[in-house]
């Protein structure tokens, strides 16, 4: 909470093996619910995919306790099925619905509509650290790093391997083709993200802006927790098409 993602990545580069990650305890989630309940009648908590973290479980346990301790506050916990900015896009859709004065049920539906169509494509600069997501053995990831293999990942509940590239340029081209295959010529909400690779992310952002009809386009940095599994140099793009009704 007291250092930036970039500062955390600098520590990571000095000693990658010193990094550890864990989900918050239910008590920490409950503390947040208690504080938010002072100014809100209802709360929607959008968590990282339950298949990637125990966050959903911790938040659900906290919500169950809060129903007894905060009976006047309605709390819903939603599994985003996502991570990275694609999770943030779901939360942002909910926030916009809430800001428009919609009730919690409508806020939840707004989040669900985006959850059903949001995508993310992530290009790793190295395969060396990806064993931490539990998808491949550590030995295989170390061998892949020696061969300069760059994995292309997607997230839908779990992290999925979508392919490999031998260079960043090839990986970016394939990621953009995957995005085009999903959205076609439709207007698109998009967010470019990176792990300690601002210059590369800015280049990707310019490509996305030039090649797609972006309703909005954001630039953000991977949280250190994501970078723990992906490694620095990672770039990616989250996106979903704008529907005819404007969502």
DSSP E strands in the chain: the ranges are 42-47, 74-79, 119-123, 150-156, 158-165, 188-194, 214-221, 235-241
In whole angstroms, give the CA distance from residue 94 to residue 219: 20
> What percent of the chain clears pLDDT 90, i.e. is strictly above it?
63
What average pLDDT does this structure show over 98-108?
97
Tokens of 10: 């600098």
Q: State the average pLDDT for the chain.
A: 88
Task: Give pLDDT tens digits for 141-150.
Answer: 444 444 567 8
* Residue 118: closest CA among 85, 79, 158, 94: 85
Q: Left (φ > 0), alpha (ψ -120 to 50) or beta: where does 214 sit?
A: beta
In whole angstroms, give the CA distance from residue 123 to residue 154: 9
Q: Quick one: pLDDT band at residue 247, thresholds 50, 70, 90? A: low
Task: Give pLDDT tens digits for 121-131.
Answer: 999 987 665 55
Domains of the chain: 5-17+118-241 (3.30.1180.10), 20-115 (3.40.50.10170)
* Residue 194: closest CA among 155, 153, 222: 222
For the cut 90, the answer to whether the pLDDT of residue 4 exceeds it is no
* Residue 223: closest CA among 45, 15, 36, 82: 82
Identify which has the larger pLDDT, 96 or 158.
96
Radius of gyration of the chain (CA): 19
In whole angstroms, give the CA distance from residue 45 to residue 62: 11
Global pTM?
0.88
């Amino acid at each position: 909470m007291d250092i930036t993602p970039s500062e955390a990545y600098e520590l990571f580069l000095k000693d990658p093996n010193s990094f550890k990650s864990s989900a918050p305890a239910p008590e920490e989630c409950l503390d947040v619910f208690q504080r938010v309940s002072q100014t809100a009648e209802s709360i929607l908590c959008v968590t990282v995919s339950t298949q990637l973290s125990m966050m959903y479980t911790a938040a659900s346990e906290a919500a169950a306790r809060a129903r007894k301790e905060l009976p006047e506050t309605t709390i819903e916990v939603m599994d985003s099925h996502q991570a990275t900015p694609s999770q943030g896009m779901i939360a942002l859709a909910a926030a916009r619905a809430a800001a428009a004065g919609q009730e919690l049920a409508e806020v939840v539906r707004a989040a669900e509509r985006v959850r059903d169509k949001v995508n993310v494509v992530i290009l790793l600069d190295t395969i060396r650290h990806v064993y931490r997501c539990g998808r491949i053995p550590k030995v295989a990831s170390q061998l892949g790093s020696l061969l300069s293999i760059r994995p292309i990942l997607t997230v839908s509940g779990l992290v999925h391997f979508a392919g490999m590239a031998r260079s960043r340029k090839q990986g970016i081209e394939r990621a953009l083709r995957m995005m085009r295959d999903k959205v076609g010529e439709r207007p698109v909400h998009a967010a470019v993200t990176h792990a300690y690779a601002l210059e590369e992310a800015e280049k990707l952002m310019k490509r996305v802006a030039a090649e797609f009809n972006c309703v909005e386009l954001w630039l953000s940095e991977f949280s250190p927790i994501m970078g723990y599994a992906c490694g620095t140099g990672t770039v990616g793009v989250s996106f979903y098409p704008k529907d005819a009704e404007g969502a």
